[in-house]
Structure 1
Amino acid sequence: MQRNVRKTLNFLIFLCFLLLGCSSERNTFTNRLYHNVTARFNAYFLAKEKIQEAEKSFREAYQEDYTQVLPVYFPIDSASVDANEEKLNEARELAGKAIDWHRISQWVDDSYFLLGLIDYYEANTDDAINTYKYLNVNSEDDEVRHQALIQLLRIFVEQRKFDDASYVIDFLSKESEISKENKQKLYKTLAYYYEARHEKDGVIAALEKCIEVTTDNHEKSRLNFILAQLYQRAGFDARAYDYYKNASEGNPPYELAFFSQLYAQQVAELEKSKDLKKVRDYYDNLYQDRKNTDLRDVVLYEKALFELKQKETDEAIKLLHQAAQEPGKLEKQKGYIYQKLAEIFFDEKEDYRASKYYLDSALQHFKPTDTNYQTLSSKQDILDRYTVNYELLTKNDSLLQLSQMRPEEQEKIAENYIQAEEERLLAEAEAKTTKKNAGIFDNLLAFGGNASASTFYFDNPTAMQKGEIEFFRNWGNRALEDNWRRKSSSFGNAVSSLPTSRDTTAARQVSQEDSIRGILPDKATLLANIPKDPEQISQLNDQMEEARLQLGKVLYFDLKRPDLAREYLTDLLQFHPDSEKKAEAYYTLFLIEKETGGSTTYYVSRLNKEFPDSPFTKSVNNPIGETSSTAANKTAESNYQKAYSAFQSGDYSIAKTLTQSTLNKYPLTEVTDKLLLLDIMLSGKLESKGRYQERLENYIENTDSPGLVKMARNMLVALTGETEVEQVASVDSTNVSDSLRINTPDKRIASDSVAAEKQIYKLNKEQTHIFILVIDPDAIPQTKNLSAELENFHDKNFQDSRLRTGNLSFTRNQSILLVSPFSNAAKAMDYRKKFLTEFKYQGLPEELKKRSFVISIQNFQQLNKRKDITEYEAFFKSSY
């Protein structure tokens, strides 16, 4: 009994000590021991586990692009962060408990570091920076301080704040006893710093140091691979080979091991081998290896590059087409395959139309954030303009030739076309038919007459295609419907409509898993497309006239092919002698002859005789030094921005002088149409209404830019008070017959000089907004520290708003500075008002400040697609 009492007493004493140890305030040995153990192995441990799970998810969501130099730190997609929101929220709650419940433990600073890391991943960058600065100043744990400084360095590098980053590097260089784990992170972040500054020597030096202290084998393989890529591109093949071999060790992911071995062979043997058969056999063996089934497109792509070096262009094209058909595992690889095809057809074949379609396919496999996306997108815009006009010219030329033939000749051509389509469809079906080996029992089967293909009808694409064609011959393109469905249908809906060109295109693009059923054109439909009356023929000729001019311009100014441009422009003058485009054609031919060393006298003479008052004539009579298209575009763009700023400020005379002088000196630039519209807007301020209306009507009739024509129409509506019905043809050449009728019932919108297009920008003042400041190229050097000054401005005036600033390269000629987020338009406009009146910065002129505007998130997506600041500024002025 006494023994039991003693046990109970001991238990009560232990329980008392335990309860006393739970206090987060009493700084005793027992308390510290309890809170250190509980914080480390409970809240902090679980928070760290949740973050590591999220980081693993980030890594799995990112697909490495081994054909390019791997980034030191792979980018983290915001979608991946959103997908792990629950984990990060749990980690934040647990880290908060480790701080609040265990204040006297040794793991408080570590928990603060985790909170900063969560803020970093969730893009609360300012909060993360403040947390890491706090730890650097207040933490007594050097390990945590070093972690915080390294993470702070990474953030500064991401923000391209290299001065701040250099300060952190200098500070860390003076720190002693940095742990091995932190040294690994520091060297890796230093490599990231040099990578951002495009200093390859610095990246190599930092990564070599990093590998020395890296213990994780997968991470070491990846770093070795990056070093190998850098050395290979620098021409040090021997060093590259060593690092590729190191990268393949340590049981790395299979893709990394595959590319390491592939590139190691290239730098060590393939590139130097004169035995071409040996090299080709190497690629063939890689292709046959079953382990590489998911990477066969890569093998074929690399072999195609090898064939290109041997000048075997046709073989390379064949291999690239084959690579495009392989399933593949790496999404971007398909993009590189199509990009290479586009380059071959552009540079070597000079088939710009084919290059355009390959480029379209390439861009489907890249993201807008990829480094090569903007370059490819800009090239796509040029090729789009070429292809639209080339196809229009070719189609109309064929139709006009057919219109001049006798009816029986037209019918014969239609029949031959349909027969050729039948043969094409059968050939495609035959190619997809699965061949089988003849077996001993095949002759015993009821349908064993053809041992080369499937004997069951629905397993035999060739038989199915023949059946489809036979059905079409007898019944036409009739919809395939069940009997009960036909009975319930009205007679008017029983016959399906004939396919449009878009339907046919879609039918040709069906996957192999889908039906191969082809849609044949109907002879009557083909004949109906041939123009017969003079009005149709005149319309086709007008389209060809415009297409020839546009082809001449795009070939000369964008594709740098003056020889081809000359052909289209001389055709315009020959086939359209009364064209209104002659002045522009003469001027472009004048530039072509001047650039190629030909005679310009003829075109100068024709301009002076036929168009004495044209801006083109003034330009050839008063030549200046900057006649090259690049210099002219740059100067005209700059003058346009200055004129528009003067217009916004009410300095109409200054703006008028600028537009007139620019149009006279540079009559043929990328901003000519914008300058002309601005000049007309100034007429509305300085001249009579009659003159203003006359110029608007002429502009609408003669301008090709749909967006600018819409603006001019809205100006005309606002001037006359009439409500016009605007018919906008679809841009898609496969659906030119479709149109949208757009009414302007809102008088407030119609009354503005440049009304907002309802389908483009939508007014939603309750949506989150962004403040935007447009910065022109010549102002970039003066606005170098603008972001830092804005941060100070925010700290002083908007301390509780948690505003963030960022820079974005918007177009080749403009960048924009963004401030966000504002929960609605009112708050964004209040910010803009304060910005205009109170923000002072020597490098930011007042006219540039006035160009600032606010925009909703939804409208910003449209603006980012259209890249037309002026268009949105008109909407902003009328709506806010």
Structure 2
Amino acid sequence: MVKNSNLKTLQRNIIFFFLAIALNLMPSCSSQKDTFTNRLYHNTTARFNAYYYAKEKILELEKEIQNEYQEDFSQVLPVFYPIDSATVEAKEELLKEAREMASKAVDWHKISDWVDPSYFLIGKVDYYKGKYEEAQNTFKFLNVNSKQDDVRHIALIQLLRSFIDHQQFEDASFVIDFLSKEENINDENKQYLYKTLAYYYEARGEMELMAPSLFKSLEYTKDKSEASRINFILAQLYQQSGLDAFAYEYYQKSVSGSPNYERTFFAQLYSQQVAELERSKDLKRVREYYDDLYKDNKNVDFRDVILFEKGRFEKKQGNLDEAIRLYSLAAKEVTENDRQKGYIYEALSEVYLNEKEDFLKTKYYLDSALSKFKETDKNYGLLSAKKIIFDQYALNYELLTTNDSLIQLSKLSPEDQEKFVDDFLAMEEERLIKEAELAKDKKSPGRFENLLAFGGNSGATFYWDNPVAIQKGALEFAQIWGNRELSDNWRTSDRGFQEAVNVGNNNNSGEANNSDNNNESNTITTNLPDKAALLNQIPNSPELLEQMVDQMEEAYFNLGKLLYFDLKQPDKAIEYLEALIEKYPQTLKKPEAFYTLYLATKDLEKDSDRYAQLLNQEFPNSQYTKSINNPDKVSGSKANLASGENYKTAYQYFKDRSYEEARTIVRQTLNEYPLTKNTDRLLLLDIMITGQLEPLETYKERLKTYLQQTKEEELLDFAEKLLKAVSEDDTASMGAATAETNKEEEPSAVSENLPDVPNVESPYKENFNQTHIFILPMNTDVAEKASDLTAALESFHNSNFSSARLRTGTISLGQKTTILIISPFSDAEKSIAYKEAFLNSFNNDSLTEEIKNSSFVISIENFQQLNKRKDIKEYRSFYKKAY
């Protein structure tokens, strides 16, 4: 009984104790009353409810950003996972909930210790939502007002990261200096601080300082997966610096910590490269290493990488054809990594450009590469710049070859034309059947065809496993029904089986474009061209033939100029331009063709005087003749400036109807400065003066000639208006274009709208958020002598901008100008920051300060205009105002 009584007493006391606590806590819902129990309640509730759930929501978002990001292991990994706005938008609800919960911790628990940490979470929500100003203000507020050192420190570190994001390096340096004087920073904040410092050096391109920061971050990193990634970055930095032994060590360290298989694979691949492959003389063992990697079923998702790396190895050994074969097989592999496909196509484009000099295939592989990269990818800018040139090459080359073939066919009789098409279709059918027979002996290319040298073959007997049977069936269907798209009611009678086929699709792009086809069905071509469609391609009228011949004349000329000025192929340029003159002896482009031939033969140290003599004999008054006879006054900024001023003076005389004075100034200028950016304007003004002083027919003929020779669209449009105006009424003295000049009033509106040098609207547009590139223009002779410049720049980038993954290349811009291109920069601000670093820190014996200071930055869109117009001075006028 005593025991029971004592037990009951104990139970009663416990009940009274909890009742007392409950009674004391009841008034604690007040967020103002500062008592022990009140603080206990609010601290507990804020920490384990509002603050906890807000933090979990943000951690969930950060995990999603990490999961959605596709690592590019061929480049140094970024310190922080880049924030994808699309991912953030998709998780908008998470941020909304996080902000609501953090706000409750602030509003409902004002006396708790979790108000400032909750304010920090609100700042992070704004940071991820892209409200950078609001986020920065929150972090600054906490630094000034918070009495909790840990909160102040993490707020400052997050503020530092935000400054770095926006290239606010001066503000970032101030925060770094401030934090360096802070004491008692806890280990978690130190880890984040040193990692953010590494990000700071990464953003500035100071790679030599990036590694020490990562080392310090590792000291405080408790998460094994995080440590694995940092070790991998350190290994990449060492490999890039040529310190293979250290790179091997850290690749091995990165394998620990349970990284995902992708990082494990690349760590093993690269560690073997730095340890053995690059220095090995046992080529058979190296090849077996790649073969074993390929055969390993665990590496199915990385077979494209393995083939690509093996191809790079073979290229270093000088086995170019084998490298191409391996690259092509790599491109056919099934993969979800588009960026890796882009690197493969880029490598193929470089091989066909530099080793094979096959510019058509270069163009199509560039197309394929760009289709796999995003604008934000590091090499997008340089590839886009190169593509402009090769697009023009392909356009003219294909037009020339297609028209030539069709014109030759047009000379045959209708019976012979039909026989030719029948023979062509028969050969195509035979080729397709042979391709199917080859495919029959191979397994599906998606997984097994690319066992290239790694596996065996097997035949197929079941129809759907038999490519030959499928192909024959498809060809038989096409012969009966024609080529039909997959659709309902395909047998409907009103769907003619003679539908036209675009035979132009059968071009060299197939090799590049078909590399993505990974299904066996895609390797079998069933779309035979339709006979009637092929016959309809042959020109059957004098008008159409004349049009095609004119197109070929233009193509010969364009290819000659492109090969000389842009592709630096004077020998090939000579072939096209000499063919132009031989096939079209009366061409109006002959003066410029002679001029380009003069330059090309001079470069090759051949008989350039021949073309100088031809120009003087046949075209003594041509601007190109004058430029050869007066080489010191051909072009340049002084010539451009002087000719521009003379143009304005002459134009004013023209508007005042002082035609003789205007003509004198124009012709003196054209004699003194034969080829400047104002030459076409001066020539057009001279023609307009002719319209006032000479017969109408002379005026019309000069306009027609001008339209065939000038390239500037603005002037072309204006000249077409002039010609149209006088052509509408031949009986009028000057038609609508010049009738007004016979009155007492001002000259006609058409004349008055002649493009004026200072008033021409700039073709360049402001777009500072677009991808930018850095341009260094040089005299071509200087560029050719600067053999070590590219290597010096690569070293400069490795030391200062290695995380930026910059690419370097050169193209020609006009006769005597070569531009060095460094790309890409995601926006104008980053490109300008690079320019400042280049001017302050890059030194090379090949470059004078004057050349360095001539550098500028330009958006991709504006670069397309610059490459088209070839006028750097014109762009500089825009650049000075815009940047």
Asked if TM exceeds 0.5, the reply is yes
Task: Name the SS of the counterpart of 1:215 in structure 2.
Answer: coil
Give the alignment of 1:308-707 within 5 angstroms. 308-405=315-412, 409-433=416-440, 452-456=459-463, 458-473=464-479, 476-477=482-483, 486=491, 489=492, 492-501=494-503, 512=519, 514=521, 516=524, 518-624=526-632, 676=680, 702-703=709-710
Q: Offset of 1:667 from its aligned partner?
A: 7.5
Residue 9 and residue 562 in structure 1: after superposition, are their counterparts in 2 closer, same or farther (change >3 A)? same
**Within-5 A mapping of 1:785-800:** none
**How many pairs were matched up?**
728
Alignment of 1:262-301 (within 5 A): 262-301=269-308
Mapped contact 1:434–1:454 kept (Cα < 8 A): no
Residue identity matched to 1:455: F
Q: Deviations over 1:461-512 (max 9, x none)?
A: 3112212323444565478888x775xx5x5444451322367689995762
Larger relative contact order, structure 1 or 2 (CA cutoff 8 Å, min sep 6): 2
Contact 2:339 2:373 in 1 (8 A): yes
Cα gap change, 1:475/1:332 in structure 2, threshold over 3 Å: closer, same or farther?
closer
1:814-863 CA-partner distances (Å, limit 9, x unpaired): 98689xxxxxxxxxxxxxxxxxxxxxxxxxxxxxxxxxxxxxxxxx9999
Distance 2:271 2:114 in 1: 46
Given the superposition, is the C-alpha separation of residues 89 and 813 from structure 1 closer, same or farther in structure 2, using an over 3 Å criterion?
closer
C-alpha distance in 1 between matches for 2:753 and 2:108: 61
Write the distance in 2 (CA, Å) between the matches of 1:666 and 1:469. 65
Calculate the aligned-residue CA RMSD, in Å: 5.0
CA deviation after TM superposition for structure 1 residue 396, in Å: 1.9
SS state at 2:164 partner: helix
Larger mean Cα displacement after TM superposition, 557-566 or 49-58:
557-566
Q: CA deviation at 1:577?
A: 1.3
Task: Provide the rounded CA distance (Å) in 2 between the counterparts of 1:135 and 1:645.
Answer: 62
Counterpart of 2:225 in structure 1 is 218
Q: How big is each residue's C-alpha offset from its partner over 1:716-755, in whole Å with a ceiling of 9 and x where there is no partner?
A: 7999999xxxxxxxxxxxxxxxxxxxxxxxxxxxx9999x
| Distance in structure 1 (CA, Å) of the matches to 2:643 and 2:250 | 53
TM-fit CA distance, 1:56: 0.9
Out of 124-133 and 283-292, give the one that drifted further.
124-133
- Residues 770 and 826, structure 2, Cα contact 8 Å, conserved in 1: no
Equivalent residue, structure 1, for 2:845? none
Aligned to 2:131: 124
Helix, strand or coil for the counterpart of 1:169?
Answer: helix
Most deviating of 507-516 and 193-202: 507-516
The verdict on how the C-alpha distance between 1:392 and 1:481 changes in structure 2, with shifts beyond 3 A counting, is closer
Query: Which structure 2 segments of 5+ residues have no match?
Result: 1-7, 444-457, 650-654, 657-662, 729-751, 756-765, 777-820, 831-858, 876-883
Query: What secondary structure is seen at the aligned counterpart in 1 of 2:367?
Result: helix
Letter in 2 for 1:302: E
CA-to-aligned-CA distance 1:254-307 (integer Å, 9 cap, x gap): 111111111111111111211111111110000000100100111111111110
The answer (yes or no) to whether the contact 2:157–2:196 under 8 Å persists in 1 is yes
Is 1:52 aligned to residue 59 of structure 2?
yes
CA positional deviation for 1:115? 1.7
Query: What is the distance in 1 between the residues matched to 2:155 and 2:342?
Result: 39
Q: Under a length normalisation based on structure 1, what TM-score does the superposition of the two structures give?
A: 0.72
Change in 2 beyond 3 A, CA 1:296/1:814? closer
What is the 5 A alignment of 1:244-259?
244-259=251-266
Distance 2:546 2:822 in 1: 42
Match of 1:71 among 78, 81, 84: 78
Q: 1:480 to 1:206 in 2, by over 3 A?
A: closer
Letter matched to residue 500 of structure 1:
N
Residue 529 of structure 1 deviates from its aligned partner by 2.6
After superposition, give the CA deviation of every residue in 1:192-237 in whole Å (9 maximum; x if it has no partner). Answer: 1112222221112212222222111111111111111111121111
| Distance in structure 2 (CA, Å) of the matches to 1:341 and 1:33 | 68
Q: What is residue 818 of structure 2 aligned with on the other side?
A: none
- Return closer, same or farther for 1:676/1:86 CA change in 2, 3 Å cut-off: farther
Alignment of 1:33 with 2:40, yes or no, is yes
Which of 195, 204, 210 in structure 2 is aligned with 1:203?
Answer: 210
Q: Structure 1: how far apart are the matches of 2:861 and 2:325?
A: 39
AA of the residue aligned to 2:469: A
Structure 2 distance, partners of 1:374, 1:635, is 32
Residue type of the partner of 1:468?
A: A
Corresponding position of 1:784: none
Residue 94 of structure 2 corresponds to residue 87 of structure 1: yes
Deviations 1:542-595 (A, max 9, x none): 111111121122212221112211221122122211111122212222332343
Is residue 863–residue 869 contact of structure 1 (8 Å, CA) maintained in 2?
A: no
Q: CA deviation at 1:80?
A: 1.2
Structure 1 Cα separation of the partners of residues 699 and 114 of structure 2: 74
CA contact (8 A) 1:400 1:531 kept: yes
The letter for the 2-side match of 1:462 is: V
**What's 1:179 paired with?**
186
Q: Distance in 1 between matches of 2:592 and 2:634?
A: 18
CA gap 1:861/1:555 in 2 versus in 1, 3 angstroms? closer
Q: CA deviation at 1:666?
A: 8.7
Structure 1: gaps spanning 5 or more residues:
437-450, 647-651, 723-750, 755-768, 780-808, 819-859, 873-880
TM-score normalised according to structure 2 size: 0.72
2:257 counterpart SS class:
coil
Aligned AA for 2:83? I
2:796 is matched with none
Q: Is the 8 A contact 1:639 1:658 kept in 2?
A: no
Cα distance between partner residues in 2 of 1:17 and 1:752: 89
Offset of residue 51 of structure 1: 0.8
Indicate the percent of aligned positions where both proteins have the same amino acid.
Answer: 49
Other-structure match for 1:764? none
Counterpart amino acid of residue 164 in structure 2: V
2:105 to 74, 98, 103: 98
Q: Deviations over 1:156-181 (max 9, x none)?
A: 22222222221111111111121111
Cα offsets for 1:384-403 (capped at 9, x unmatched)? 11111111111222223333
